[in-house]
Structure 1
Amino acid sequence: MMGRNPLDMLERLPGDAQKQAYKKLTNKLIDGEAGDILTGLIAAKEISMLEAVDDLHAEMGVEHIDEIPNHDDRKQQLKALVEALVSGDIPTFWFEQIGQDKLDEPESARDYLNLDGDEWRTECDKLVNTYRKQGSTASRSEIVADYITRKFGVDTEYFVSHVVNWTDTQQRNVAKQFLLGNFDGVEQGINVARQAVEHHNEQAKQELDEGDHATAD
């Protein structure tokens, strides 16, 4: 008799239990030797490539790469990203990587993370009722904007688009940004160097042409 497939067994678990089981399995894989080696190799290669491009920029006298990550920090970020991809919880990953530093009172902001439309309307209703009890005659949108700006230090558009409302496209874009961002940085750095070389060659050609004309005269 063949053994049971562990993944098939996980699929039979109820919702919350299934999520916890997947998280436990993912953590075991990520934090194990294989996951540690893989994320370490990727982080090391990214950093090596970024440093090589940065050295090239220094030699050419063009601007340096904005930021080269720390190896251990990048390893942990990659592990967190894999866990988020497996669990389908990119919003929480973004919040812990970016939102906590961007927002005032981040733990309060977490309560609004990835709400559906009805949940967000309910939260807005609560805010409006609270303001009305305090005598406010402002419009609904003004009340929400005032609360978000005072509480979290960002405008309503940013808060709704980055905290409350997470579309599938947005989740894919965030995953792509954190997975491929350093390689994109290398590509951009190479393009900057290429443009600098092209500019130098154009100047050299122009000076040579001017010299030829002067000699001819």
Structure 2
Amino acid sequence: MKIALVTGAGRGIGRETARQLAEREMIVFAGVREENHAPEGTRPILLDVTDPAAVASAAKIVGEEFGRLDVLVNNAATCGDFGMTPAEVTAKHMRATYEVGVFGVVTVTHAMIPLLRAAGEARIVNMTTRLASISLTSAGDDLNVAWPMLAYNSAKSALNALTVLYANELRGSGILVNAVDPGHCATDLTGHTGSRTAAEGAAVAVRMATLGGDGPTGTFSSQEGPIPW
């Protein structure tokens, strides 16, 4: 039986990802801030990705019980500049967003890599967005132009870069690292403005979390296919 950890699993896409992985008979640790927020069928684990001690504790719990981690889904994120223009965003907004969505990912991934290596064939899935695509933004893509969030979008661009760098380092180790875009989902993060459900958004993360040994690494995709960096 495979062991998975999903950060930010208390609500939205993270909660659905954890639930769907559990349906696939994985033992899923749902990283939450309050235990009663974990989805049914998962094991709640208190995890604030901005707290190194909490991350170390989570790694210790997983390591002592199972000695490995087969799947890590870095889903936790925050959006401090929703509805703001780039000119309105301050460094304070940037720091808050990066603390969770970039530095938090590094903190968690760094702590879990020994357990992922111990699994032999592991998967890292980083939850990002097409809004992070520099190619689409510079080309004037309608969605990217409509949602020009300086902090959130650039933090996800940084996450995309982390994805490639981790994938390159771990290539050949059996660990596949990919970035996924769940699409515009109706969640708390988007003010419930999306046209897709959280369950629909989680599908691409679940697919990449369950790749076979011949699956890709270092990619950026949605359920519909590849997205340009």
After TM superposition, the score normalised by the length of structure 1 is 0.23
* Structure with more contact order per residue of length (Cα contacts < 8 Å, sep ≥ 6): 1
- Identify, as 1 or 2, the structure richer in helix: 1
- Identify, as 1 or 2, the structure richer in strand: 2
After TM superposition, the score normalised by the length of structure 2 is 0.22
Q: Bigger radius of gyration, 1 or 2?
A: 1
